[in-house]
Amino acid sequence: MIRIGTRKSALALWQANYVKDQLEKKGQSCILVTIESSGDQNLLKPLYAMGIQGIFTKALDHALLNNDIDIAVHSLKDVPTLLAKGIKISAYLKRGAANDIMVYQKKFINWEKNNLIGTGSLRRKAQWLRKYPYHITENLRGNLQKRLDKLSKSKWGGAIFAQAGLERINLLKNKFEVLDWMIPAPGQGTICVASLEKNKVLGETVKPLNCIDTQLCSEIERTFLNKLEGGCTAPIGAHAFIKEEEINFHGGLFSLDGAKAIFYKTKVNINKAEGLGRKAASQILRKGGYELMLEIKKLMK
């Protein structure tokens, strides 16, 4: 019996059940174990103000290390780039939609009349303010249903979400717009499975769920993030995808208000992907990213 650890939100349960179904199709017997994270308990503070790495994954890490569960299912974008000692990502499931979307308030008229938007993400806030510098962002936290409820009762023009999450639990009902100009979070749209490094048999059991292309792109994005952030929550976007045997990569580092931005965009043959994440981060650091990261860290103290 494989004990699958998950958070209690509707999206987390959907993702855990999806993994459970995939494993059961391969003849495994599974059960879900729900665990509450500190990120779910405190919905008032913006995530960046809570000063915790892996705020949505730490409780599941503890459960894994304490042998209360066998695997943990996460949204990859919530998983720190430095994993807890003894834990590894055993499978990257095939990626869903990676992009962000603007979900409009039902009373939305236009951005001149509705210049307030909701988001709890520094990355989304910075990129939105870069495009719309006279807009005002307000903190939006909670599970997807709570965020949509808050949007419906607000005076905002809209709120920014990841498309994949709303699609998975059938909540994409309001009018929305795909923000194809906004660089998503590293790993956005990808479900991953974590397990203990020492549990080799379980690692092999989960391995068939792994999508090689998703793993390659995810690891490029996460390496880029790791080399840039140095443990600091910062407005960083990264997206890698494969098209016609080439890896397309677009990364960006933004000041908190979006006024400054440093981008790196490239396309390489899939056989030359090794080191791409590190190279991209190095290019951004060389183009002023190091100074911008220092500035961000000072402002967030």
Which active-site residues does the annotation give? 78
Q: Check: CB of residue 160 under 8 Å from CB of residue 101.
A: yes
Radius of gyration over alpha carbons of the chain, in Å? 19
Cα 164 from Cα 257, distance rounded (Å): 26
Cα 192 from Cα 54, distance rounded (Å): 14
Cα 48 from Cα 174, distance rounded (Å): 28
Cα 232 from Cα 162, distance rounded (Å): 22
Cα 97 from Cα 161, distance rounded (Å): 12
Structure tokens at 216: 């390659």
In 10 A of CB 289, how many CB atoms? 23
Structure tokens at 233: 């929550």
